[in-house]
């Protein structure tokens, strides 16, 4: 007890924030691994973004474009607050703010990071910081020469080299001791910073005791500064070391989720909700044994422009015990038109309004859905609490008495609209009809008084996920005047509306039918009971004036021709075959996991000359991130054809045979599975015996049996399920088919798992 009292006195002397009433620790962790707020012992929740502008490409691109970096941060933090985010995370590019010995360099990168933390603090947004990234600063360009220890040693050596480890210990100590020049508080004592994650994705190899020793040294370096915040470590990579990480004394584990893979180079099609049914952790017992808190440092439904996925992921995270999560990654507004930083991701409120609103709903899910509550599997889990998601309607929504948030046209209506405090939406609902393509936000300021925040039209003009550069515009915004009809109960007798930020020439107008034509900006709406200069309204206007509205500068792009990622639909007579996959035309949209020697058969000009050549040296491959896992003896390719058969809807149900065209190589004969996937995730397939003869293989559709679908693209981390558990249909419905899977593995005996399998896939159709 004497020691604890002495320690408190010393800490109060060294860290004046404590005696000033600002205890540095916002949270504590109980034996069940649950984080609680120190202020009232309630459960901690947090949701937000990864954002990288002070560093690397984000910094470099802004400089090349002549962008004011602090102004850019202001603009993006405004969007975070508008979406209700309360958490931020970034892996700091240590290579830019350290030297080879681990000394912290106080340069413009660190100064901008301090500024960013200040602006987040002003909006009530907390942070979890990862001080070490191990990355070079180049992506998506070449790395620049940088002064840090990561540059000298590289990630692998940083984990094992004694000099590199000493440099990291010094750097971590100095980093958490750094005093933010804008707040005057050291990172280790700032209540805004909830926790530290030691480093980003270390991917350990080697002896377990060495891994534990490394993690312990990093943890001790932070705690030797007097920092008592929780310390997290990435436990979702190299999960064979799960217990070894906790033997080092860490407080929690960090996780990521990319359920649709990464880098497809184009928009994915088809229902991906089966891919996010569950976030299963095979070492969950280790987490529970060590009372570990859980934090999602990165997640995204990559290569998808739709808005229905994120709330399903948030639901599954809560079921898995996750209390905080940050999406990866926010596109700075100045570079969002080009989507250059991470072309497999795309997120910005102005340029991706439906996706951004979807993340807004995720924040509400983390604050609303009980921890560990299980809602089953798809399609039974599309409604949970006040939330609903729909693949068919590309819709996610939240409907309560106080909040109504939706990402697309909806017919849902709050039970008591007179109690609403917030409406955030896109498109049409029973309360708001809007013909623009930007988001809108209604905030209730008082009885009969609402603030309307209207975003510009967002228009995708090219493939968002291709080979991008600042010379290629992918999305634009447009400041069009658009029609809106407002059906709020307070305005049954009409309302008056006026521009608050003077971006619109309509400074004041009255309407009886609830219809107005507006440009993007901020407006004040009030019921007829108020006079134009009523004192209550004037006070509201003063409040609104404090709400800055940051509008992006439109990128010159004429004409504004919307880009549609959907594939061209095939046509034909009812008697014609319905093509599902043709390698020569469709191979660039085929989902497949890379294996040595596999890929399209190309001529010298890069054109497909035959089909897709697949060569497997054994059916299973060792997973370096999960080496103790039971091997998956299967290799599957998937192709989404749903958009291509839309014009053949009447013809498809009349077909009776599934035809595969292809052959095996090297005189080998082996079975393959051909499966059709329905929209609800159900799969029906049959086996054929493949031979070296170039033949057409026929399966009668009535003979197809229900089979397990493989989750494609493969989710990451690799410990996540390989097979889908979604789908309740017990009978193949040709009206609902949308994807094809071709698998090697089913029907092959164990003694043959190690053989070489080689085949050519040419085409698949219905007749």
Phi-psi region of 339 (alpha: psi -120 to 50; beta: other; left: phi over 0): left
Indicate the residue among 338, 368, 398 that finishes a domain.
Answer: 368
Q: Is residue 374 included in any domain, yes or no? A: no
The reported pLDDT for the residue numbered 597 is: 66
Q: How far apart are CA 464 and CA 346, in angstroms?
A: 8
The reported pLDDT for the residue numbered 287 is: 98
Residue pointed to by tokens 């447009």? 478
Residue pointed to by tokens 């003063």? 542
Q: Is residue 375 included in any domain, yes or no? A: no
Q: How far apart are CA 67 and CA 398, in angstroms?
A: 36
Question: What tokens appear for 67 in the block?
Answer: 């962008």
Strand partners of residue 35: 29
Question: What letter would DSSP give residue 703?
Answer: G
Question: What tokens appear for 625 in the block?
Answer: 């991130």
Q: How far apart are CA 100 and CA 407, in angstroms?
A: 47
Q: Between 569 and 470, whose confidence is greater?
A: 470
Question: What letter would DSSP give residue 588?
Answer: G
Q: What is the CATH number of the domain that holds 151?
A: 3.20.20.80
**SS3 per residue for 473-529:** CCEEEECCCEEEEECCHHHCCCEEEEECCCCCCCCCEEECCCEEEECCEEEEEECCC
625 band by pLDDT with thresholds 50, 70 and 90: very high
**Residue 8 pLDDT more than 60?**
no
The reported pLDDT for the residue numbered 4 is: 32
Q: Is residue 376 included in any domain, yes or no? A: no
Q: Is residue 378 included in any domain, yes or no? A: no
Q: What is the CATH number of the domain that holds 582?
A: 2.60.120
Indicate the residue among 368, 402, 428 that finishes a domain.
Answer: 368
- Same domain assignment for residues 359 and 397: no
- Same domain assignment for residues 36 and 175: yes
Inter-CA distances, 389 with 386, 404, 412, 731, Å: 11, 14, 12, 24
The reported pLDDT for the residue numbered 545 is: 63
**SS3 helix, strand, coil % of the chain, rounded to 5?**
25, 25, 50
Inter-CA distances, 190 with 105, 121, 193, Å: 20, 10, 6
- Same domain assignment for residues 617 and 731: yes
- Same domain assignment for residues 216 and 363: yes
Domain that includes residue 668, residue range: 578-766
Say whether the peptide bond before residue 461 is cis (omega within 30 degrees of 0): no
- Same domain assignment for residues 175 and 254: yes
Report CA Rg, the chain: 28
First CA to last CA distance, the chain: 82
**Residue 189 pLDDT more than 70?**
yes
The reported pLDDT for the residue numbered 11 is: 36
Say whether the peptide bond before residue 329 is cis (omega within 30 degrees of 0): yes
Indicate the residue among 368, 397, 426 that finishes a domain.
Answer: 368
Q: What is the per-residue DSSP string for 49-98? A: EE--TTSHHHHHHHHHHT--HHHHHHHHHHHHHHTT--EEEEE--HHHHB
568 band by pLDDT with thresholds 50, 70 and 90: confident
Own/partner long-range contacts of 693-696 (Cβ < 8 Å, ≥24 apart): 693/663, 694/661, 694/662, 694/663, 694/762, 695/661, 695/663, 696/659, 696/660, 696/661
Count how many Cα atoms sit within 13 Å of the Cα of residue 180 in the half-sphere of its side chain.
22
The reported pLDDT for the residue numbered 653 is: 97
Question: Across the chain, which distance is largest between two alpha carbons, in Å?
Answer: 90
Q: By three-state DSSP, how is residue 120 classified?
A: helix
For 111-158, write each residue's pLDDT tens digit. Answer: 999 999 999 999 999 999 999 999 999 999 999 999 999 999 999 999
37, burial (CB in 10 Å: exposed 0-12, middle 13-18, buried 19+): middle
Residue pointed to by tokens 């493969």? 714
For residues 525-542, give the mean pLDDT: 81
**Residue 6 pLDDT more than 80?**
no
CB 54 within 8 A of CB 374: no
Q: By three-state DSSP, how is residue 252 classified?
A: strand
CB 341 within 8 A of CB 61: yes
Which segment of 385-394, 561-570, 639-648 scores lowest on mean pLDDT? 561-570
Which segment of 4-13, 412-421, 648-657 scores lowest on mean pLDDT? 4-13
Question: What tokens appear for 621 in the block?
Answer: 């491959």
Strand partners of residue 697: 660
Q: How far apart are CA 70 and CA 54, in angstroms?
A: 9
- Same domain assignment for residues 428 and 331: no
For 401-423, write each residue's pLDDT tens digit. Answer: 999 999 999 999 999 999 999 99
CB 169 within 8 A of CB 176: no
Q: Between 602 and 524, whose confidence is greater?
A: 524
- Same domain assignment for residues 398 and 431: yes
Q: How far apart are CA 297 and CA 48, in angstroms?
A: 10
The reported pLDDT for the residue numbered 45 is: 98
For residues 515-532, give the mean pLDDT: 91
Q: How far apart are CA 376 and CA 249, in angstroms?
A: 34
- Same domain assignment for residues 518 and 417: yes
Q: How far apart are CA 266 and CA 464, in angstroms?
A: 7
The reported pLDDT for the residue numbered 604 is: 63
Q: How far apart are CA 508 and CA 496, in angstroms?
A: 7
For 202-225, write each residue's pLDDT tens digit. Answer: 999 999 999 999 999 999 999 999
Q: How far apart are CA 683 and CA 262, in angstroms?
A: 24
Q: Is residue 573 included in any domain, yes or no? A: no
692 band by pLDDT with thresholds 50, 70 and 90: very high
Question: What tokens appear for 23 in the block?
Answer: 């205890």
Domain count, the chain: 3
**Residue 724 pLDDT more than 50?**
yes
- Same domain assignment for residues 163 and 36: yes
Total-model pTM: 0.95
The reported pLDDT for the residue numbered 19 is: 33
CB 594 within 8 A of CB 573: no
User: Which residue, 92, 290, 88, 122, is CA-closest to 199?
Assistant: 92
- Same domain assignment for residues 441 and 586: no
Q: Is residue 737 included in any domain, yes or no? A: yes
Q: Is residue 561 included in any domain, yes or no? A: no
Strand order in the sheet with 395-399: 383-384, 387-390, 395-399, 403-406, 422-425, 440-446, 449-454, 521-526, 495-499, 509-511
246 band by pLDDT with thresholds 50, 70 and 90: very high
Could you give phi then psi for residue 502, rounded to 5 degrees? 60, 25
Residue pointed to by tokens 């987040």? 120
**Residue 590 pLDDT more than 70?**
yes
For 249-262, write each residue's pLDDT tens digit. Answer: 999 999 999 999 99
Q: By three-state DSSP, how is residue 599 classified?
A: strand
- C-alpha 460, offset from chain centre: 19
Q: How far apart are CA 739 and CA 711, in angstroms?
A: 12
Say whether the peptide bond before residue 713 is cis (omega within 30 degrees of 0): yes
Q: Is residue 740 included in any domain, yes or no? A: yes
Question: What tokens appear for 119 in the block?
Answer: 């602006």
**Residue 13 pLDDT more than 90?**
no
- Same domain assignment for residues 404 and 484: yes
Q: How far apart are CA 277 and CA 3, in angstroms?
A: 50
Which segment of 364-373, 461-470, 622-631 scores lowest on mean pLDDT? 622-631
CB 299 within 8 A of CB 258: yes
Compute how many other C-beta atoms are within 10 angstroms of the C-beta atom of residue 375: 20
- Same domain assignment for residues 303 and 416: no
Q: How far apart are CA 84 and CA 364, in angstroms?
A: 8
Could you give phi then psi for residue 256, rounded to 5 degrees? -135, 170
């Amino acid at each position: 007890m004497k020691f604890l009292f002495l320690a408190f006195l010393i800490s109060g002397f060294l860290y004046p924030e404590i005696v000033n009433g600002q205890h540095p620790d916002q949270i504590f962790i109980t034996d069940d691994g649950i984080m609680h707020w120190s202020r009232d012992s309630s459960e901690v929740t947090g949701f937000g973004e990864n954002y990288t502008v002070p560093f690397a490409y984000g910094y470099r691109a802004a400089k090349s474009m002549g962008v004011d970096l602090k102004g850019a941060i202001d603009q993006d933090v405004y969007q975070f607050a508008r979406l209700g985010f309360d958490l931020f995370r970034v892996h700091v590019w240590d290579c830019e703010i350290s030297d080879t010995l681990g000394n912290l360099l106080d340069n413009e990168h660190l100064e901008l990071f301090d500024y960013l933390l200040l602006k987040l603090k002003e909006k009530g947004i907390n942070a979890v910081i990862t001080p070490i990234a191990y990355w070079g600063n180049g992506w998506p360009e070449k790395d620049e020469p940088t002064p840090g220890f990561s540059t000298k040693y590289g990630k692998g050596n940083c984990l094992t080299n004694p000099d590199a480890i000493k440099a990291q210990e010094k750097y971590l100590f100095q980093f958490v001791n750094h005093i933010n020049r804008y707040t005057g508080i050291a990172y280790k004592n700032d209540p805004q910073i909830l926790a530290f994650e030691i480093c980003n994705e270390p991917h350990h190899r080697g002896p377990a005791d060495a891994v534990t020793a490394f993690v312990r040294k990093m943890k001790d370096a932070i705690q030797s500064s007097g920092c008592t915040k929780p310390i997290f470590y990435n436990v979702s990579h190299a999960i064979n070391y799960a217990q070894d990480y906790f033997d080092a004394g860490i407080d929690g584990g960090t996780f990521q989720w990319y359920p649709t893979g990464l880098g497809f180079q184009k928009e994915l099609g088809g229902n991906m909700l089966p891919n996010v049914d569950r976030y299963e952790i095979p070492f969950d017992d280790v987490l529970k044994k060590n009372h570990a808190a859980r934090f999602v440092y990165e997640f995204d439904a990559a290569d998808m422009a739709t808005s229905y996925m994120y709330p399903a992921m948030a639901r599954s995270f809560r079921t898995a015990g996750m209390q905080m999560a940050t999406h990866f990654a926010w596109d700075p507004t100045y570079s969002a038109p080009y989507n250059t930083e991470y072309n497999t991701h795309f997120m910005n409120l102005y340029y991706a309004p439906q996706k951004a609103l979807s993340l807004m709903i995720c924040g509400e899910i983390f604050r609303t859905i009980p921890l560990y509550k299980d809602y089953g599997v798809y399609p039974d889990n599309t409604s949970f609490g006040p939330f609903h998601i729909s693949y068919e309607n590309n819709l996610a929504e939240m409907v309560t008495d106080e909040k109504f948030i939706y990402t697309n046209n909806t017919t849902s209506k709050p039970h008591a609209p007179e109690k609403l405090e917030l409406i955030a939406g896109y498109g049409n609902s029973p309360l708001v009809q809007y013909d623009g393509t930007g988001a809108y936000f209604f905030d209730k300021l008082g009885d009969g008084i609402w603030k309307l925040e209207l975003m510009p039209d967002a228009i995708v003009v090219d493939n968002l996920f291709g080979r991008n550069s600042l010379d290629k515009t992918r999305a634009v915004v447009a400041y069009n005047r658009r029609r809106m009809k407002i059906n709020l109960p307070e305005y049954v007798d009409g309302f008056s509306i006026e521009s608050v930020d003077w971006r619109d020439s309509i400074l004041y107008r009255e309407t009886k039918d609830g219809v107005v034509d507006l440009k993007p900006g901020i407006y004040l709406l009030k019921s007829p009971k108020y006079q134009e200069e009523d004192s209550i309204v004037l006070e509201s206007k003063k409040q609104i004036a404090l709400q800055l509205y940051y509008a992006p500068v439109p990128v010159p792009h004429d004409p504004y021709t919307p880009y549609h990622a959907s594939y061209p639909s095939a046509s034909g007579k009812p008697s014609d075959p319905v093509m599902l996959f043709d390698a020569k035309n469709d191979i660039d949209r085929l989902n497949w996991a890379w294996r040595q020697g596999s890929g399209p058969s190309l001529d010298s000009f890069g054109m497909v000359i035959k089909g897709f050549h697949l060569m497997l040296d054994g059916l299973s491959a060792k997973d370096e991130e999960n080496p103790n896992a039971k091997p998956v003896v299967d290799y599957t390719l998937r192709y989404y054809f749903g958009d291509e058969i839309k014009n053949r809807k009447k013809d498809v149900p009349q077909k009776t045979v599934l035809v595969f065209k292809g052959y095996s190589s090297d005189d080998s004969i082996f079975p393959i599975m051909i499966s059709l996937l329905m929209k609800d995730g159900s799969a029906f397939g049959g086996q054929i015996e493949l031979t070296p003869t170039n033949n057409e293989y026929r399966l009668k559709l009535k003979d197809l049996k229900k089979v397990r679908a493989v989750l494609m693209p493969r989710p990451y981390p690799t410990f996540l399920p390989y097979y889908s558990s979604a789908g309740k249909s017990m009978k193949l419905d040709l009206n609902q088919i949308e994807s094809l899977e071709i698998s090697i593995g089913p029907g092959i005996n164990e003694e043959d798992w190690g053989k070489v399998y080689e085949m050519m896939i040419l085409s698949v159709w219905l007749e």
